[in-house]
Structures are given as C-alpha cells and as structure tokens.
Amino acid sequence: MKQVILIITLFVPVFLFSQKNITGKVIDMNKNAISNAKIHYQIFETISDTFGNFNLQILTDSSTIDYIIISHENYLLDTVKIDKKLYLIVQLKSIVNFMATVKQDDKLQFIGQQTIKTEIITSGELKKAACCDLAGCFETQGTVQPMTTNIITNSKELRILGLSGVYNQVLIDGMPLVQGLTFTYGISSISGTLVDNIYVAKGTNSVLQGFESMVGQINVVTKAPNKGDRLLLNNYINSFGENQHNLNYRFEKKKISNLVSLQTVQPAQKWDKDQDGFLDLPKLQRYMIFDKIKYGDDTKKGLSSMLGIRYLWEQRIGGQVNFDVNRDLGSTQIYGQKVNYQQAEFYTKTSYKFNDDKHITFIASSVMQNQTSWFGTVNYKAHQKNYYLNAQYEWQWHRNHEIKTGISYRYFYLPETISFTDTFLKRTYTGSYIKNETIAGAFIENTASLRGGIFTVITGLRIDNHNKFGNQITPRSMLKYDISEKATIRASIGTGWRTVNLFSENIGLLVSSRDIIFKEALKPEKSVNYGVNFLKKYKLKKLEGFFTFDIYQTRFQNQFFPDYNTISTKAVIANFEGTSVSNGFQTDINAKLIKRIEVKIAYNYLDVYRIENNLKVNLPFISKHKFLIALSYLPKNKKWRADVNAHWFGKQELPNTDNNPDIFKQAKYSKAYYTVSAQVTKSWKKLEIYTGCENIFNFRQSKPIVSWQNPFSQYFDTSFNWGPTRGIEFYLGLRYMPFK
C-alpha cells in the first residue's frame, strides 16, 4: 500500500504541471540577432546563442498564463507572455541612445563576446594617451608591444607573443593593406584621430581574412561617416618641436554618408641629448588625405556599400646632426638617411542582405607605393603594387549553424633595386630583386552554437594556390565555452604561413654596414599556434571588473630570422627548419571602483627560443618578463580626467658581438628598465585640452648606435636599440568639436 501511495505521489506533478519546450530568437529593432541575452522563468534559465536562438525547457501549471523575462546589459528588459506559443521572436530596445555617455566611460577597453578572445580598444580608451598614430595606441594594454626597427628613421612594428610584427596580421577596416613596403612605415602613418576602435585577437584567427595571422590579428576600424562628431579639429605639439594637425569632417545626404580626414605632420628641431652626433629623432614630414563613403545600412535588407580612399606623402630624414639632405645624400663623409614615399590606397566592401539568414559580400583593395630611400651609402628604390579580391557568402543553414564560404585572389608585385656609392665596405648584395606572386584561394568556415549558446565552435579551412610554392592548406578551429554568465573559457588551434619580404620587413639589413650572404632561397614560413584563455567577470558592491589569463604556444616548421651571430659583420640569409618555439603567458586584472577609478594590471611572460646544435638559443630583444600598471580617475562631473601608466621591462638578450674589436663590443644583456607616463584632460562642451609627459623619469638607452664614431666602418650597426632613446617628452594638444 505504501508503495502505491509513493508511486501516486511521484506522479502528482505530472497531473498538476506539464513540460514545455520554449524556443525562439532574440533580436534588436533592426532584426539583428542578440547573443548572450538571458531568458528566465522561475528557476529555469538559459541564454541566447551567437545567432540569438534559445531553447528553454520548463515545467508549468497548465491552468495559468506564463511569462518569461528576457534581459541583456545593452537592452531594455522585456516580459513576454508565452501562453500556448512554443516559438517566440522577441525584439529588445537598445539603451544605447540615452546611455551613450555612460557606456563610453564604463567600457573604454573590454573583452568582446566573440568566440575568439578579442580585446576591444575604443576611441575613448585612445584618449588616455597622445595616440598620434597607431603605434602609440597600445600604451594602456599589455598584448601588443610597439618596437622600433630603425632608430634613425623611427620605423616601428607591432609585436604579439614576443614575435616580429610580420607574424600578426594588421587590417584596416578588415582589409589587408599593411604588408611589404607598407609594413615598414604603415602603422606610423595611420592617424590616431582617425581610429574608432581597435580589435586585438591573440592566437589563431578566422580563415576568412587569409592565411597570414600566425600569432594574432589587429583590425583597425576607422571612424564611421554616419556617426560621431560632425567636425573634429586636433592639434598637437611636443617638446621636441614636432607638431601634428588633424581635421575630420563628415556629412550625410539621404542614404549616403561621407567622412573626409586631413593630416599633416611637421618636423621636430634638431636634438642630440646623448651627444653621439646623431639626431635623437628624425625630421618627419607627412601629408595625408582620407575619404570614406558609406551607402545604406548593412544591418538591414538590401544593398549597402563602403568605399575608402587614401593618399599619403611622407618624408623622414635622420642621421648625423650636420647632415644636409641637399648636399650629403649618399655621402661617404657625413652619414644620413632619407626615406621618401608616396602611397595610394583604395578599398571597398559591398554587401547584399537577402534576409536575416543569407547575405553576400564583395571586397576589393589596392595599394601602390613608390619609395626612394638612402641609408648612408645605400640607395634603395622600390615600387609596390598589391591587389586583393574576396567574395563571401554567409548562410544560416540551421538554427544553430552559420556557414561562411568564398574565394579570394591576391596579386603582389614588388621590384627592388639596391646600389652603393662606396666600394670600401665590399658589400655584395647590389642588384635588382623582384617578387611577383599570385595567390588564389577558397575557404569555408562553420560556426556552431550548441546547448543554447553555452558552446560555440568555429571550424575553418582554406586552400590557397601560390604561383611558386603550390597548394597550401590552412585549417583552424576555435572554441568558446560559457561556464556561467560571468566565466568563459576559450581554446584555439590552427596553422598559418607567409612568404618573406626580405628588405622591407628587415630594414636593419639596409641600415647597418653588414654584408648580406644568401645561403639559399627562402621558403614560406609555417607555424602551428594553439592556446587557452580564461575570463572571469566580477562585481562586489562598488567594485567591478574582470580577470583573465591566457597561454599560447607557437611552433614553427620553417622560420626566417637574419643570422647576425655566426659572423658579426655579416647577415646570413637562410631557412631555419629546426625547433623554433614561442611560449607566451599573460594575465590581466581590470577593476573599476565606484565608476570613478579604474585600475589595470597586466603581466607577460615570454619564452622565445630556437634549438641550435642541441642548445637553447633565446631570440634577442625580447623581455621575458613585462609588467603594466594603468590608473585612470574620472570625477563625477566628468569635466576632467587623469591617466597614468607604467611599464616595466626585464632584461633582454642581445646579439653576439664577441668578434668585434673591444671598443665596439656590446653587453650580452640589456638593462631592466621602466617608464612612466601621465596625462590630464580638461573637457568643455565643445573643447578638450590634453597635456602630458611620456617617460617622466627620463630613462634612455645611451648611445644605442654601434660604431657611432665612424658610421662608415664595417662595424656600424643601428639594430642594438632595446629601450627608449629620446628620453622625457612633454606634449600639449587640443580637440575642438564645434557641433558636438
């Protein structure tokens, strides 16, 4: 009898309650999918996936009318009656319109919701430092490290995971415009006032943009023609006398919007603080015009298009203080460098959206550059043509799956000519070098959202045919797992490859007096990258923020790195197919106290090495340990703000100079050092004035040029810069927005 009563008791809920499986989709007012929306009913809860879909199983009393609650941090909460409906389409209203100012202050830099870990640096974050160009836009984050590749002309690259900037892909509005000749000075030529957001992804990335992002990707999104300040004037001057002036103006007419940007940079005065006879910074002159046109809205059905055009003229003059460019160019008596180039860019993206599930996109870009440069007695002339085409089809073929597939084509033509005005150094690499490559590719990528969006998996594959090296296959896969609403783990694995642009990517080969020995023809560089990332958000009364750490490893099957150690007066060019590894660990803590004080702490550990003759050889100019601390204070009235950031770099291994005469020998390791910078910004309704100081404690690497006493000797080398070389720098700037 007791057993019968027990069985009846167990079945009571079946008679009183029924099970329902509620599915649906969460979208915004433009019918775009909203991911990570919380769907809640009593004790039952789920979240929407990447495509806005959700699946919620509930037990409900059949005699009542039920309601579910849908919430998201960027949208107004909504309550929906389900009654007998089993599939719901829920539209949420954005809160951005009346909370824009708050959102900008609250999220100046954050980790996006993408499957790939993506750090998003907003235009608000960029205002924490001078950010005159792209190279200066990473002062408050620890993932990307700008490095100087030629201290005389101040060329720079952006490094991720301690590896050369050639291994991470730099995109402008999603376009591969920075490569070859444009790699050498490209990141310095992009004005900071033109940048809207920067998306930094570490490790393996999507196959859609190509095969070259071997350790990361930096996508620079320029300001939109249809939003933001109608007119922006920016003026900047530093204590060296270098000044910059920017103008952004946008206007709209019906479905067409246009943004025009102008920039000029005028040179600094002559400075030689360490008295080595060489200028501390080059005399830089630049004129740039940029036009970005947008038609339609790519979030809505129908046709939309974007067109970008840029023309750039730039000149950099450096060298000995008494160098006269009109008198001493190519001289064997007074050393000087002059870089002069003109560059034209064109890119476009046109999309047609059939419905919420299908759309097609066409992308095209072109870059042309003419360059004439002098590096002492080395005359370098180059002309680059680069064309890129991409057609992509996107289709949500299942409720939880979206596929992207397409074809691409790249044409790259780079003829280079090198000659010398001296004969006493006995350099042997004079002549013409031509790189002419065509690469046709096809790709496919599927995004799967599983278990109500808790799991997201991206699997991609591309096959490219190189006119010289044949077929190259690039598989990649990425995983995102939402452990909870505030905890996420990501993992990725994939391959990458690239061909070497010898001189433009290794400008130090032309600058120093070393002879270049070509041991063999260079093959494509290839690598495998894999890593894991963990993100945890937290909120404790008046304190909120996030904690993250990640571990990545890159293993090369073939790698190129000029060999400076075998013979100190020569650079040996050869493939390295032995063991070459980069291990990287990074942890970040971001905290905001009472929405006024923001603290950011980052630590990087890098172990980058090769195995040569069964010995571990560390790659030079890489700090194994690096710390960043950034502090920001924004008072309640928001009329001013203060920002301070400090960087600490551990010692770096330097190239071997044991075969040099004693006077030209260098230490085996650099010094550990730190830099501190600060800025104060005062805001009015239409005007902002900012002033700051970089490298407050005036740390500088003294006399970084080897054989500065005789720049025409065989030991002259400018590649030994491992720290700041210009010392303390003050600056003053203003932004004027009359129609804000």
Q: Which long-range contacts (CB under 8 A, 24 or more apart) does 536-541 make?
A: 536/486, 536/487, 537/486, 537/487, 538/486
Asked if pLDDT for residue 19 goes beyond 90, the answer is no
pLDDT of 450 reads 85
The string of pLDDT tens digits covering residues 539-572 is 888 888 999 999 999 999 999 988 887 887 889 9
Buried/exposed 469-488: b ≥16 CB within 10 Å, e otherwise: eeebebebbbbbbbeeeeeb
**What mean pLDDT value characterizes the chain?**
89
Q: Give the model's confidence band at 95: pLDDT under 50 very low, under 70 low, under 90 confident, else very high.
A: low
Worst-scoring range by mean pLDDT, 121-135, 383-397, 495-509? 121-135
State the distance between the two ends of the chain, measured CA to CA, in whole angstroms.
80
> Quick one: average pLDDT of 522-529?
97
Q: What is the pLDDT of residue 130?
A: 85
**What predicted TM-score, i.e. pTM, was given to this entire model?**
0.87
The DSSP-derived string for 426-480 is -----EEEEEEEEEEEEEEEEEEEEGGGTEEEEEEEEEEEETTTEEEEEEEEEEE
pLDDT digits (tens, 9 = 90+) for 316-360: 999 999 999 999 999 999 999 999 999 999 999 999 999 888 999
Q: What angle do CA 96, 99, 101 make, to 5 degrees?
A: 110
Q: How many CA atoms lie within 13 A of 141 on its CB side?
A: 27
Residue 43 confidence (pLDDT) above 80: no
CATH of domain 2-94: 2.60.40.1120
Nearest-angstrom CA–CA distance, 549 and 547: 7
Indicate left, alpha or beta for 4 from its phi (over 0: left) and psi (-120 to 50: alpha). Answer: alpha
Distances (CA, A) of 350 to 196, 257, 347: 21, 15, 10
Q: Does 1 have pLDDT greater than 60?
A: no
HEC string of 604-619 equals EEEEEEEEECCEEEEC
Residue 102 pLDDT more than 60? Answer: no
Give the 3-state secondary structure of residue 198. Answer: strand
> What's residue 84's pLDDT?
62
| Residue 52 and residue 35 in contact, taking contact as beta carbons nearer than 8 Å | yes
Q: Does the pLDDT of residue 133 top 50, yes or no?
A: yes
DSSP label at 9? H
**Residue ranges of the domains in the chain?**
2-94, 102-736
| pLDDT of res. 66 | 65
Q: What is the pLDDT of residues 571-591, one digit of tens each?
A: 999 999 999 999 999 999 999
Residue 14, pLDDT above cutoff 60: no
Look at residue 85 in the predicted model and tell me its pLDDT.
Answer: 63
Q: Write the pLDDT tens digit of every residue in 306-315.
A: 999 999 999 9
- In the predicted structure, residue 7 carries a pLDDT above the cut 80: no
Count CB-CB contacts under 10 A for residue 36.
18
- Cβ atoms of residues 141 and 109 within 8 Å: yes
CATH topology of domain 102-736: Maltoporin; Chain A (2.40.170)
Nearest-angstrom CA–CA distance, 197 and 220 = 6
Which DSSP state fits 508? H
Maximum C-alpha span of the chain: 113
Q: For 421-480, write each residue's pLDDT tens digit.
A: 998 898 999 999 999 999 999 999 999 988 777 889 999 999 999 999 999 999 999 999
Lowest mean pLDDT among 29-43, 250-264, 462-476, 493-507: 29-43
